[in-house]
Structure formats: structure tokens, C-alpha cells
Amino acid sequence: MLSNNKIKFIRSLEKKKFRNESACFLAEGNKLVADILPFFECELLAAKASWLANQGDIKTKELIVAENNDLEKASQLKTPQDVLAVFHQPQYILDNAALKNDLSLVLDGIQDPGNFGTIVRLADWFGIKQLICSPDTADIYNPKTVQATMGAIARVKVFYTSLPSWLGDMKDIPVYGAFLQGKNIYMETLSPSGLIVMGNEGKGISPSVEKLITHKLFIPNYPPKAESTESLNVAVATAIVCSEFRRKQAFC
């Protein structure tokens, strides 16, 4: 049974202040929790007996057999599932030297937790292991972001830093950015390594970061110059850009 104090603690993780204070985050759902259990230190896991019966050895500091009513009180989902877990936030060290031989995503002010989580999932799909984010990008440990990653949070490392100063230190590495005034991505030569910058949902890439972009790319609509929607959702645009980078790499 979940105590009132435990329920209060779990519910508090909806707010960034309490996530930072505890250095913990919440994950909910049968598959999500099972997927990330091997990767993160688990502080607390509460689940129905039926879910626990189908699991092997569960590594957690505290394991609670919970009733449906307990999970409903603690859950932040509209439809609570069979299990929720509180994990410790991992501590990663950004290795700039390693980035020069890999493809990485850079997010400049992505605000929507759902978009952010989807981009993490896309990064995982396309074999991108690092996401470098501006401080005003949504919190990776926001419960909505965690849910949207569909477990990819366990395999993609996310960092936050001041992008203008950090990019200024990244010498001899191509920096790509998506712009409406860029060059047709399908006609450009794309490097198998480098940084791909995606900007804010409404404002795009900030001026201070734009100055450091070395290759401006554009995703053309079809047919060319036809009247169409004004822009693409940032997660959709990220999927197209990453796919084109990997497609050209496969045929090199």
C-alpha cells in the first residue's frame, strides 16, 4: 500500500522544483518502466501484484504492492497503468571531443514536452546518442517528456548548456540548422558527423545561435513553391532531417 507521504512525493515530481531537489523523476506504464529499469537507479517502484508476477528480479530500493486506488491517487496519467516508478536522474559528462566523430542533435528552445520527448525517441531510432539543449528547452525529466520518449531516455544522453558559448568552442565540426531560407536538404552533401540544430516551435533558431550555423538547410514542400502549410512541426522536421542524413550516409 502506498502511504499518503509516498503519494505526495510522487505527485510532487510533476514540478521541476521538486525534481531538482530530489534529483529524481517519475516514469509510468508497463512497458516504459520495464524498458528503463535496467538503466537507471530505481528509488521506488509501486505496482499491482499482477504486473509484478510477470517480472523477474526487480532492482529497486523500495518495492510496494499497490492497489488500483493507490496508483490512481499517485498517477499523473489520465488513465493510470499497472506500475509507476521513481528513478534517480543520471549524471552525464559531455565529451566534446567525442562529438566530432559522431552525429548529434542540438535543441534551441524547444518548449513542448511532447515534441521534446518525440525528438529523443527519433534520436534513438536514428542512432544519435547525444542531445545538447539550451537552458530554456523543456526539462527532459518532465513526466510528459519521459512518457513521450517511450523508453528512449535510457539510451540517449541529454545535456543542457549555453549554446552560443558552447558552439563557439566547437571548432572544425559542421553545424547544420533548419531554416526557411536554407539550401535544399535533398541537394546538399551531408557529413556523417556534425551537429544538427533544431529551433523553437514558433521562433526557430535564435539569432545568437544562427550566427554559428555553418550550413543552412531547408526542407522543400511538394510540388516546389506550391501554396501549402507555413511550416512543419519541429519533431516532424527533425525526423526528415535525421532520415536524410542517415540515407546519404548509407549510400556513401
- Residue 80 has a pLDDT of 86
CA 96 to chain centroid? 19
The residue range of the domain holding 57 is 4-88
SS3 track for 192-215: CCEEEEEEECCCECCHHHHCCCCE
The set of residues, in sequence order, having a beta carbon less than 8 Å from that of 207 and lying 6+ positions away, is: none
- Residue 127 has a pLDDT of 96
- Residue 17 has a pLDDT of 97
- Residue 5 has a pLDDT of 94
Cα-trace Rg, the chain: 20
110 class by beta-carbon count within 10 Å (0-12 exposed, 13-18 middle, 19+ buried): buried
Domain CATH code at residue 11:
3.30.1330.30
Number of domains in the chain: 2
Mean pLDDT computed over every residue of the chain: 93
Domain CATH code at residue 198:
3.40.1280.10
Using the 3D structure, point to which of 63, 88, 113 is the last residue of a domain.
Answer: 88
Are residues 104 and 45 part of one domain?
A: no
Q: Give yes or no for a contact between 48 and 73, defined as CB atoms under 8 angstroms apart.
A: no
- Residue 231 has a pLDDT of 77
State the amino acid at position 189 in one-letter form. Answer: T
In this prediction the pTM is: 0.93
Are residues 102 and 74 part of one domain?
A: no
Rounded mean pLDDT, 217-243: 87
Are residues 127 and 226 part of one domain?
A: yes
Using the 3D structure, point to which of 54, 88, 122 is the last residue of a domain.
Answer: 88
Place of cell 528480479: 57
Are residues 151 and 50 part of one domain?
A: no
53 class by beta-carbon count within 10 Å (0-12 exposed, 13-18 middle, 19+ buried): exposed
pLDDT in tens, 136-180: 999 999 999 999 999 999 999 999 999 999 999 998 899 999 998
pLDDT in tens, 58-106: 999 999 999 889 999 999 988 889 999 999 999 999 989 889 889 999 9
Are residues 209 and 157 part of one domain?
A: yes
- Residue 54 has a pLDDT of 86
Are residues 112 and 236 part of one domain?
A: yes
Are residues 115 and 78 part of one domain?
A: no
- Does the pLDDT at position 243 exceed 90? yes
Quote the DSSP letter at residue 79.
Answer: S
CA-based nearest residue to 244, from 228, 209, 220, 213: 220
Confidence of residue 252 (pLDDT cuts 50, 70, 90): low
- Does the pLDDT at position 225 exceed 80? no
Are residues 187 and 151 part of one domain?
A: yes
- Does the pLDDT at position 251 exceed 70? no
Are residues 22 and 138 part of one domain?
A: no
Are residues 101 and 73 part of one domain?
A: no
Are residues 180 and 104 part of one domain?
A: yes
Rounded mean pLDDT, 228-252: 87
- Residue 160 has a pLDDT of 97
Using the 3D structure, point to which of 42, 58, 88 is the last residue of a domain.
Answer: 88
